[in-house]
Amino acid sequence: MQSHIRSWSAGHLVHRIDLLPALPREWSDGRVRGLIARGNIVVDIQWKHGAVARVQLDSPDARELRIKMPTGVTRAHVAVAGQAPIDLPIPDGIVIIPRAAAPTPRSVVILP
């Protein structure tokens, strides 16, 4: 995982998290839990056959998140704060979770 502060949006920092940017071939299946990205965002990643299978991001606030999926991922099911998942096209490889109105902690689950 790589974590970046990419830009400002409406007076707030926008974080981007890149998932599995350099996964070794020898690690075709696996999982990591509790990685901390910039902004104190907790990231859990599970992968199978070298591809992302499930991602959970727990943010301490309602900031905008940008998640760069590995090459080849063009759709994902995204659930924010326990809501029903939404099937999203992601032609540029980046899932954008907009800033929420209330500054409360929230969890995001992504299933490619």
Boundaries of every domain in the chain: 2-111
Write down the pTM of the prediction: 0.88
pLDDT of res. 6: 65
What's the CA gap between 62 and 64, in Å, rounded?
Answer: 7
Q: Which two tokens stand for residue 82?
A: 């326990």
What's the CA gap between 85 and 97, in Å, rounded?
Answer: 13
pLDDT of res. 84: 92
Q: In terms of CATH architecture, what is 2-111? A: Sandwich (2.60)
The list of the chain residues with pLDDT below 50 reads: none
pLDDT, tens digit, for every residue of 30-52?
999 999 998 899 999 999 999 99
pLDDT of res. 99: 83
pLDDT of res. 100: 83
Burial class of residue 94, CB neighbours in 10 A (0-12, 13-18, 19+): middle
